[in-house]
Structures are given as structure tokens and as C-alpha cells.
Amino acid sequence: MKNVLEWLEATSERLPNKTAIADEVSSLTFAELKEHAQAYGTYLADKVAPRQAVAFYLEKSPEVLAAMFGTVYAGGFYSVIDTRHPASRVQAICETLQPALVIADEEHAERAHELFDESPWELVMLEDARAQATDAQALAAVRAQAQDIDPLYAIFTSGSTGTPKGVLVSHRSVLDFVPAFDAAVGITEDDIHGNQAPFDYDASVKDVYSSIRCGSTVQIIPRSYFVKPTQLMDYLADHECTTLVWAVGAMSFVSVMNAFDYRVPTTVNKVLFSGEVMPPKLLRYWMKSLPDARYVNLYGPTETTCNCTYFVVDRPYTDDEQIPIGRPFDNERIILLDEQDHEVTEPMARGEICVAGSTLTMGYLGDAERTAAAYMLNPANPRWPETIYRTGDIGYRNEAGELMYVSRKDNQIKHLGQRIELGDIEAAALRLDGVSQACCIYDTRRGKLRLFYAGDIEKDDLVERLHELLPPYMIPNTTRRLEQMPLTSSGKIDRKGLAEFRRRRAK
Amino acid sequence: MDEITLDDIIEVLEDVREDIDYEQEKKLIDDGILDSFDILSIISALNEEFDITIPAKDIVPENFNSAEAMLAMVQRLVEED
């Protein structure tokens, strides 16, 4: 196999009339998904050269998935842009992506015109990006030149210098990861995925590609249901969802909103979670309502294609215990490197978690420097060139050989399930006139982003301007002006000192 | 516990998002001023601060559109407790 479309084609042959993907208002069978994808592909093949990008500026739907696969039929790769991003961030993403086309939907048409009409990127509406008839010959020509090392999608994530990083992922990595994932967690044709992850997050890759590979159904949950607990529970139960590939944050929605007191979706038999450390209390809440489900802790950054390790939860964990991140998926290897870049093998000894395998992604699009800093030759293997990805996460193996997560090496944090570089927020603040110093810390106890700055700008003006530069989840919860920043003895901003600052109401 | 006041509610809200005029805004949800993460943070904070458990059926826009609406809900839940 060398192309993910072979999965779609085989499944549409085997299960043509089974529902592949549905949302509240529409659905596509596997045969329809393939036909629509080929119609988009025929249109796009004229506009997109092989290995060029197509950007999607819209909300996910069955038809959008068909257009994403249409990009792949055209030999290109897709990237879905979060429509909540401010204009400056959308532009930064497009400059990196250099898309041949931007595809938008009706709902976001007005904003898309504002963003792209004066830009170098051509905008086309979803309903216009489809040919009347499929040109099988043109699509076959595209496929004939395709390789498994071609890019399939790009996912943008926060970068410490203020420019988002585009993680580029090849067919090869997805072809390698998805079967290993399906086998480890037990996904079959009978499954119905209650899809939570937006398509600009790689958690959705697990729903979408398991579906076209196994013949399972993806049932898209409307985003707004994550603040409407009764509708969310009714939706999961009424659609008989079996599989939740969810962010830990989404699972905490259910708990905070006491949704299981209203209704338990008893068809759910697999809960596969990732994104941040799972608090044992939250997992116990789920296990109490859905005691027979299989719970799997998934670990790994986007750069390793979704996840690199997994742990099938074997029992309830107490609050002072930690749930392991487990063992690598089939065909992946974890190497722990100490501060001198020597491999750590003994139990309980800590090291940076590094990953080797075909699931290593291609690097950061258009950014050789940051790629070289994270994707490097394994320093513990001088005998042949073996690329590893350095996650920046510190971990160790316990006595049972299971991998345990400890902490980050740097200032990357997880806030509301989103991966954020604190430097990204600081860089945005420092771009504004009237800010001379900025330091953002994460108050882990309360789960709040706290920005401290020095300069002439009024606090309210600063916060208002930040909204033009950062997506909503990166806006600091509190902002405080200081006469000057506390410094460490080496002259750097004292992050620990700031973390201990008691917040007083600025009134 | 002393009577819960509007100021108490606003104090909790400002710790979640301080860039909103909670005394003026009456359509926090309907106008999309609060996003889903804010709402989650607010529910957690209200539960913790006032030692209540907001049930799923109360998590509807009417109860979160304004600081007053949240105050009314919190007072009711404290009394029912």
C-alpha cells in the first residue's frame, strides 16, 4: 500500500451502502464518500499540482471530508484552518502553507472573502469545488506518480516565537499508524465513532482513517453540544455511539456538567483519550457510569502521527497514582535520552522521550531550522542514520516497563486541551507598542494563563489587541502590569517568582 | 454562609475572563461572548466557590446569559442543597 485512498476504495467496494460519515443533517455512504471525493479530485487536479496544499476554512461535515479526500485524489495535501483564529494567524498559516486554493463553506463565506479576496490565495466555495463528472483517467495519472512519502495533511500548532508550526504528515505515517491503532484499541466495522475532535486536530485522524480502513461510521458531534450536556448525551445515545476518541478536556465537560446524571450512553464501549494528563478522579467518574467500556490512555505529540504509546487501563486509579502512558504502538520505538544524550534503559531513570519509526512525521513545513532542532539523528546510535523525534517531554519506565510521563522540558503547556507555547503568547504581547517586557506563566493549580508585562500600554488596551493576534483559548485569563519584572540571578525573567505572585483584584 | 451577591459572582467570572463587562452584558451566550471553554471554566468555578453541583438540566443559555441569571441560579441551588 502506498496511498490512503486505497482504504477508501476497498471499503467502498466491500460496504458501499454503509454510512461512512454523518452529522446532524447529512450523511454519506462509503460509495458516496468515494464518488464525491473523486468529483472534488477531478476539479482540484486542474488547479493543484502534486504535493501542493489546499487550505480548508470551514466547519467540518461529511461533504468537507469528501473534499479533503478530493485533495488527496488530486495529489495534494490538505490543512484545515481553525475559523476562530484571528486574521493575522490565518495569514501566517497560509504563508507557510502556500495553498493552491482555499476552500470555504457558506457559513464562513463572508469572513473568508475578507481574509482572502486581497490575498495571493484563490478562494473557492465548497459547492463550486466539485466537477460534474469524474475524470478517471486524470485521477489515474495522478495516482501513478504518487509516492507514500508524499504529504497527506498539515496540522498547525503553537510555536514559541509566535509563528505557528505546520507539522507535515505523509501517507506512509498514516498507513503505518492507523492499523497499529485499530489493533491496539480494538476498532472494527461495527463501531460508531462519536467524533469530537475538530478536523484541524490530529485526534480526528484516528476517527476518519479507522473508518475508511475498517468500515466503521463517523458520527460528527456538533461543537455546540459540548456546552449542552443534555443534547450531547441524547446525541451519543440516540446514534448508538460505541467509540469515543476524545480529548481529556472533552471528558471533563461531561463530568463538570454532570451529564451522566441526566443520561448514560450505554452503547459506548471504548473511550480512547489523549491531549493531556488524565486525572484519576475524572476517569473514575467515567468508569462508574460506563463500567464495561475499555479505557485507553493515548500519548504522543502530533509530530509522531497522533500518538506513539498507549496504555489499556486495567483498574481504577487513586488520586495519588498516575496512569501510565504505557508502551509504543506496533512498529514504533521509544528511546529515553538523558541530558548528555545517552540512552537511559534502567527502570525509574528519567530521560527525554524520543520516538523512532515510520510514524515520524516529515517535519515543520517551510521551517528547516525548527525541524532540525526536533527531528534529529539518534545520538545514541552512531552506526547508521536513524531519525528520532525529540518530544520535549520527560518520562521514565516503571518496574513493569511501562512508560510514565513526568513533565515538559520547556514552556509548552496544555490549557483546555490545547497545546500552547507560552512564548507564543509572550511574542504576541511584545509585538504591541507600549509593551517592553512580557512573561506568561501557567497557574497549573487553577488552570489559568496569567500574563505579566511592563510598559506604558493600559491593561484593557493590551487585552483588546491580543484578541487580534491570538485565538480565544490563548488569551490570558488574567493580565497584570508590573513596574518591572522580577529577575533571576542570571538576569532572566524569574518565572517561578511570578508564579508565586498572589493575584489581587485590579480595581 | 452570607448571602451571595452579584459582586461575588462577578469576582468568579473575572477570574475566568477579565476582559468582559459583566455588569453590562446580558447576552453572554446568545451573542457568543463566552465560548465553550469559558463556560466550562465558569461552571467549575461556581461549583467550587459556592459548593454546589450545577445539574446538566440547568446548563442552558438562559442561566448563563448574564451575571444576574447566574446569581439567581446559584442562589436557588444553594437553597435546594
Substitution target from A82, A257, A481 for chain B, most B beta carbons within 10 A: A257
Rounded mean pLDDT of A394-405? Answer: 97
For an interface test with A, the pick among B9, B13, B29, B36 (most A C-beta atoms closer than 10 Å) comes out as: B36
* Cα of A416 to nearest chain B Cα, Å: 7
Residue A214 parent element (H or E) = helix A203-214
- A53-67, A73-87, A403-417: least confident range: A403-417
- Which chain A residues touch B18 with a CB distance below 8 Å? 463, 477-479
Is the predicted pLDDT of residue A17 greater than 50, yes or no? yes
- Angle, CA of A11, A77 and A150, to the nearest 5°: 85
Choose the mutation target among A227, A235, A252 for the interface with B, i.e. most B CBs under 10 Å: A227
Average pLDDT over residues A290-302: 97
- Closest partner CB to B40 (pick from A224, A256, A475): A256
Which percentage of chain A shows pLDDT scores above 70? 99
Mean pLDDT lowest among A190-204, A268-282, A353-367, B9-23:
B9-23
> What CATH number is given to the structural domain containing B13?
1.10.1200.10
Answer whether residue B22 is part of any domain.
yes
Question: Own/partner pairs for A480-486, CB < 8 Å, 24+ apart?
Answer: A480/A450, A480/A451, A480/A452, A480/A453, A480/A506, A481/A452, A481/A453, A481/A454, A481/A455, A482/A452, A482/A453, A482/A454, A483/A454, A484/A437, A484/A454, A485/A437, A485/A439, A485/A452, A485/A454
Looking at the structure, do residues A302 and A437 belong to the same domain, yes or no? no
Using the predicted structure, report yes or no on whether residue A223 has a pLDDT greater than 50. Answer: yes
Residue A20 DSSP SS3: strand
Model confidence pLDDT, tens digit, residues A158-173 = 988 888 999 999 999 9
pLDDT surpassing 80 at residue B19: yes
Q: Cβ–Cβ contacts within 10 Å for residue B20, how many?
A: 17
Contact A121, A102 (CB under 8 A): yes
Whole domain around residue A62: which residue ranges?
5-312
Tens-place pLDDT, residues B42-67: 998 999 899 999 999 999 889 999 99
Please tell me the predicted confidence (pLDDT) of residue B1.
56
Q: Who's near A347: CB < 8 A, 6+ residues apart?
A: A396, A397, A398, A399, A401
Identify all chain A residues contacting B35, using CB atoms and an 8 Å cutoff: 84, 472-473
Cell matching residue A273: 483519550
CATH code for position A488: 3.30.300.30
Question: What is the model's pLDDT at position A505?
Answer: 39
Show residues of chain B in contact with A228, CB under 8 Å. 59-60
Residue A451 included in any domain:
yes
- pLDDT at A460 > cutoff 80: yes
* Strand arrangement, sheet containing A448-454: A437-443, A448-454, A478-481
Q: In this structure, what DSSP letter does residue B77 have?
A: H
Query: What's A44's domain CATH number?
Result: 3.40.50.12780
pLDDT of residue A211: 98
Asked if residues A295 and A286 have their Cβ atoms less than 8 Å apart, the reply is yes
Is residue B1 a part of any domain in this protein? Answer: no
Hey, what amino acid is at A226? F
Contacts of A446 (CB under 8 A, 6+ apart): B15
CB contact under 8 A, B17 and A253: no
Q: Does B19 touch chain A (CB under 8 A)?
A: yes
**Is any Cβ of chain A less than 8 angstroms from the Cβ of B47?**
yes
Taking the CA atoms of A480, A486, A490 and A496 in sequence, report the sign of the dihedral they define: negative
A230 near B CB under 8 A: yes
> What pTM value is reported for the model?
0.91
Answer whether residue A74 is part of any domain.
yes
Pick among B22, B23, B37, B65 to test the A interface (most A CBs inside 10 A): B37
Q: Does B23 touch chain A (CB under 8 A)?
A: no
Structural domains in chain A (count): 2
Mean pLDDT of A421-432: 94
Number of structural domains (chain B) is: 1
Q: Please state, rounded to an integer, the average pLDDT across all residues of chain B.
A: 90
Q: Is the pLDDT at A269 greater than 60, yes or no?
A: yes
Per DSSP, the residues of B3-52 read: PP-HHHHHHHHHHH-SSS-TTT-S-TTTTT-S-HHHHHHHHHHHHHHHT-
Please identify, among A275, A296, A312, the residue that sits at the C-terminal boundary of a domain. A312
CB contact under 8 A, B56 and A261: yes
Distance CA B36, CA B23 (A): 21
Residue that is last in its domain, among A312, A327, A346: A312
Closest CA to A135 of A39, A50, A47, A48: A39
Which of B14, B35, B43 is nearest residue A257 as measured by Cβ atoms?
A: B43
Q: Out of A256, A464, A478, whose CB is closest to B43?
A: A256
Query: Which residue among A312, A342, A377 closes a domain?
Result: A312
Question: Which range marks the domain in which residue B40 is found?
Answer: 6-80
B41 touches chain A (CB under 8 A): yes
φ, ψ for residue A393 (rounded to 5)?
A: -95, 140
Please give the share of chain A, as a percent, with pLDDT higher than 90: 88
Nearest CB among A228, A463, A479 relative to B59 is that of A228
Judged by a CB distance cut-off of 8 A, whether residue A161 touches chain B is no
Cβ proximity of A270 and A242 under 8 Å: yes
Q: Are the C-beta atoms of A217 and A20 separated by less than 8 Å?
A: yes
What ipTM score was computed for the predicted complex, to two decimals?
0.82
Per-residue confidence (pLDDT) for residue A498, from 0 to 100: 85
Q: Distance between CA atoms of A344 and A342, rounded to whole angstroms?
A: 6
**Cβ–Cβ of A262/B56 closer than 8 Å?**
yes
Residue A294 belongs to a domain: yes
Q: Residue A471 falls within a domain, yes or no? A: yes
The answer as to whether A325 is a domain residue is: no
CA distance B1 to chain A (A): 22
Confidence category of residue A502, pLDDT binned at 50, 70, 90: low
